[in-house]
Structure 1
Amino acid sequence: MEIRHLRLVKAIMEEGGITKATRKLHLTQSALSRQLQEAEIQLGTKIFLRINRKLIPTEAGEKLLKLADEVIEKIEQTERSIRELVKGEAGEIRISTECYTSYHWLPSIMRQFQLLYPNVKLRIVMEATHQPLQKLLSGELDIAITTDPIQDSNLRYIKLFQDEMFAIVPATHKLANKKYLTAEDFADQNLVIHSLPMETVSVHRFVLAPANVTPADITVLPLTEAAVEMVRAEMGIAVMSGWALKPYLRTEGLKKIRLGTKGLLRDNFAAVLSAKEYPGYFEHFIEFLKNEITIGDREKAAS
């Protein structure tokens, strides 16, 4: 049994006869009749019976029609998916994150995605930084990247990757030779963070607050480069993800240190609206984001 035979049975049933089915399949009546005969020979039974000048499916024909509906729908879905992958759909994805450091890796991945989907416009909404979930709920974003998911039935989260947070200190700092830092090590330090409130800062949530430790001072600097230079000038210590720190550790004068004996691991999620139906390219973008970051992490680990 071939796909053309399934299409034939489906067309005859939908059009109500051979004559109309010929127009749908772009076949002559004799060619269609031959294909129907071939199918019946292969099955060893009749597919249709002619009753009162109408073609009525036999029991075998009914089973064949059910198979045709399932198989042809699957084929058409796959063809649509491939066309979308090759040609790309047209649309826009508005995206933002909760932290400026994420913009170190996001633009390069967006550029790779647009090589595959040139008709999909990707737009970073910088003004939504630090509050992407709220902007997503208000309709100002399509995808929010966050490490701090909130419990809300209106939101759906897809895990992208896991990264590790490290403290960064000057190489001459008194903490530089420690294998790992504890909450108490921050008690007499100036902690450089990207933004307030403190409840959104990972080192506060998972290290300092549980131990009831408050740093001696706190400096807010949204730009990663400025925060790193402040640490380099011995004016404080900062905590950032390993991939964000990597370019700054290539020069001398800085050292990264783990947080706690097991390290501070952080999950990153893509958040979307749970009740909204998104075009196919949204799911493709999230999968692309997840796969490309994972592959990149493996390559970094191997290098």
Structure 2
Amino acid sequence: MEIRYLRLIKAIVEEGGITKATSRLHLTQSALSRQLQEAESQLGAKIFFRVNKKLIPTEAGKKLLQLADEILDKIERTEQQIKAMAIGETGEIRISTECYTSYHWLPATMRKFQRLYPNVKTRIVMEATHNPIEKLLDGELDLAITSDPIEDKHIRYIKLFKDEMFALIPSGHKFSGKKFLNAHDFSDQNLIIHSLPMDTVSIHKYILEPAGVTPAEITILPLTEATVEMVRAEMGITVMAGWAMAPYLKSAELKKIRITPKGLIRDNYAAMLIENELPEYFEYFIDFLRTAIQEHG
């Protein structure tokens, strides 16, 4: 049972329903309802009864509420202990990532971290985007987020999370009836990517290149919002992580499709230089990164 589900259950009970819980959790009602369904599916049991438009905890829900009280209280106390440890800690974490889409969730994670470590400055190095490993090796970064680790004796990697890449298409596209896309489906498409080289593009590296497929056209567009608008205008299709495209799928004009029956799954890593002796707060920052996608998924 994920922490976010426990927070959800506690918020629904304490706020008296879904509507007020959405404000507390900063989620839309549809997102909250979806997470509740996911929690019940994972548990294999109903968590709430609906009685006169009110949600009443089932026996399973009551046990989870008790668990939520215990665990969330422990987390809060631990955070306070960490905050106390951080008093007097000063320093800076220079960070970048290989993809602009990560900046949808990274700043919020950094703000949350700085509430616990007010004297530690976290700074995004935008100019290192797309080549964070190179900048890490050059000493311009302290931490790089990547899904494309390279073997180098100077770098250590810590696995952060998995995510799945999907194709984003306009709802009227000829692919809209498909359950999934294969490599050859891209052969007559304009594929919109964030940057070159192609070896850093996941769909090319793991799906298209092994199948010997080259899209009919490739458009390079580093801004996610602009890419989405091109897809909406039926000027091409793109591939990005499910969490990155989620805000745009609220529109009926767009649709996501899985890539291959098994999906295109990536591992995401935090990369740091082995020879750098990093302060303890780096480890806590990595824990924040590790949970960021779950909270924003």
What TM-score results when the alignment is normalised by the length of structure 2? Answer: 0.71
Report the counterpart of residue 90 of structure 1 in structure 2: 90
| Cα distance between partner residues in 2 of 1:270 and 1:85 | 23
| Cα distance between partner residues in 2 of 1:167 and 1:243 | 12
Which runs of no fewer than 5 residues in structure 2 stay unpaired? 1-80
Q: Secondary structure at the match of 1:118?
A: coil
| Cα distance between partner residues in 2 of 1:143 and 1:84 | 24
Contact 2:105 2:292 in 1 (8 A): no
Contact 1:88 1:118 in 2 (8 A): no
Report the counterpart of residue 216 of structure 2 in structure 1: 216
Report the counterpart of residue 149 of structure 1 in structure 2: 149
Report the counterpart of residue 186 of structure 1 in structure 2: 186
Aligned counterparts, 1:23-34, within 5 A: none
Percent of aligned positions with the same letter in both sequences?
Answer: 66
Report the counterpart of residue 123 of structure 2 in structure 1: 123
The one-character-per-residue Cα deviations of 1:203-241 (angstroms, maximum 9, x if unpaired) are 000110010000000000000000000000000000000
| Cα distance between partner residues in 1 of 2:127 and 2:104 | 17
| Cα distance between partner residues in 2 of 1:219 and 1:134 | 24
Report the counterpart of residue 107 of structure 2 in structure 1: 107
Q: Secondary structure at the match of 2:177?
A: coil
Q: Secondary structure at the match of 2:169?
A: strand
Taking a change above 3 Å as real, the CA distance of residues 83 and 98 of structure 1, as seen in their structure-2 partners, is closer
Q: Tell me which amino acid in the other structure corresponds to 2:130.
A: H
Q: CA deviation at 1:83?
A: 6.9
| Cα distance between partner residues in 2 of 1:192 and 1:151 | 28
Q: Tell me which amino acid in the other structure corresponds to 2:148.
A: D
The number of residue pairs the alignment matches comes to 218
| Cα distance between partner residues in 2 of 1:194 and 1:82 | 38
| Cα distance between partner residues in 2 of 1:126 and 1:196 | 16
Tell whether 2:278 aligns with 1:281: no
Q: CA deviation at 1:292?
A: 3.7
Report the counterpart of residue 36 of structure 2 in structure 1: none
Tell whether 2:196 aligns with 1:204: no
Contact 2:167 2:240 in 1 (8 A): yes
The one-character-per-residue Cα deviations of 1:255-275 (angstroms, maximum 9, x if unpaired) are 000000000000100000012
Report the counterpart of residue 250 of structure 1 in structure 2: 250
Aligned counterparts, 1:222-233, within 5 A: 222-233=222-233
Report the counterpart of residue 177 of structure 1 in structure 2: 177
| Cα distance between partner residues in 1 of 2:95 and 2:153 | 20
| Cα distance between partner residues in 2 of 1:88 and 1:264 | 44
Q: Secondary structure at the match of 2:226?
A: helix
Contact 1:176 1:255 in 2 (8 A): yes
Q: CA deviation at 1:252?
A: 1.6
Which runs of no fewer than 5 residues in structure 1 stay unpaired? 1-80
| Cα distance between partner residues in 2 of 1:205 and 1:243 | 21
| Cα distance between partner residues in 2 of 1:164 and 1:236 | 20
Q: Secondary structure at the match of 2:222?
A: coil
The one-character-per-residue Cα deviations of 1:135-178 (angstroms, maximum 9, x if unpaired) are 00110000000000000010000000000000011100001110
Q: CA deviation at 1:87?
A: 2.3
Q: CA deviation at 1:84?
A: 5.5
Q: Secondary structure at the match of 1:103?
A: helix
What TM-score results when the alignment is normalised by the length of structure 1? Answer: 0.70
Contact 1:88 1:117 in 2 (8 A): no
Q: CA deviation at 1:251?
A: 1.1
Q: Secondary structure at the match of 1:173?
A: coil
Q: CA deviation at 1:85?
A: 3.5
The one-character-per-residue Cα deviations of 1:22-79 (angstroms, maximum 9, x if unpaired) are xxxxxxxxxxxxxxxxxxxxxxxxxxxxxxxxxxxxxxxxxxxxxxxxxxxxxxxxxx
Q: Secondary structure at the match of 2:213?
A: coil
Contact 1:88 1:116 in 2 (8 A): no
Q: CA deviation at 1:184?
A: 0.5
Taking a change above 3 Å as real, the CA distance of residues 107 and 82 of structure 1, as seen in their structure-2 partners, is closer
